[in-house]
Amino acid sequence: MKKVNVFLMGCLAIAALSCSKDDENKLDSNPDPDGVNKKEEVLLDVNAVSSGVIIEGATKKQGSPVPSGDIEFSLDYEKQTAFQTNGFDIQFKAPQGFAGAYVQLKDENGMADSYFDIPVGATSGVYDKAAKTTKRGFFANKKSAKSNIAGKGEDTSIDVNFETEVTAGTFCYVICVYDGQGNISEPEEVCVTVESWGGNTNLVADWGFTKEIDNGETINKGEEYCDEDGYTTTLDCASGETKEITIEYCYTTNSLLMTFNSDGTYEYTYNDTDRDFDWDASKESCEAVYEDEEEIYVSKGNWAYNEEESKLTIVEFEYTETYNGETESGVEEDGYLAFDGEITLTADKLVIIEKDTYEGEEEVYEYHFNKK
**pLDDT tens, residue by residue, 217-261:** 999 999 999 877 778 899 999 999 999 998 988 889 999 999 999
Comparing 132 with 110, which gets the higher pLDDT? Answer: 110
- pLDDT value for 248: 87
Whole-number percent of the chain with pLDDT over 70: 86
Q: Are 112 and 47 in contact (CB under 8 A)?
A: yes
Q: Are 85 and 162 in contact (CB under 8 A)?
A: yes
Contacts of 34 (CB under 8 A, 6+ apart): none
| Helix, strand, coil fractions of the chain, as percent rounded to 5 | 15, 50, 35
Write the DSSP symbol of residue 97.
T
The pTM score is 0.80
Confidence of residue 307 (pLDDT cuts 50, 70, 90): confident
Mean pLDDT, residues 297-302 taken together: 95
CA distances, 85 to each of 82, 227, 242, 300, 324 (Å): 9, 37, 53, 15, 33
- pLDDT value for 11: 44
Q: What is the pLDDT of residues 81-101, one digit of tens each?
A: 999 999 999 999 999 999 999
Q: Are 190 and 78 in contact (CB under 8 A)?
A: yes
- pLDDT value for 149: 40
Mean pLDDT lowest for which of 53-67, 140-154, 250-264, 313-327? 140-154
Instruction: Give the residue from 265, 260, 218 showing the smallest Cα distance to 371.
Output: 260
- pLDDT value for 33: 78
Mean pLDDT lowest for which of 18-27, 66-75, 107-116, 351-360? 18-27
- pLDDT value for 137: 53
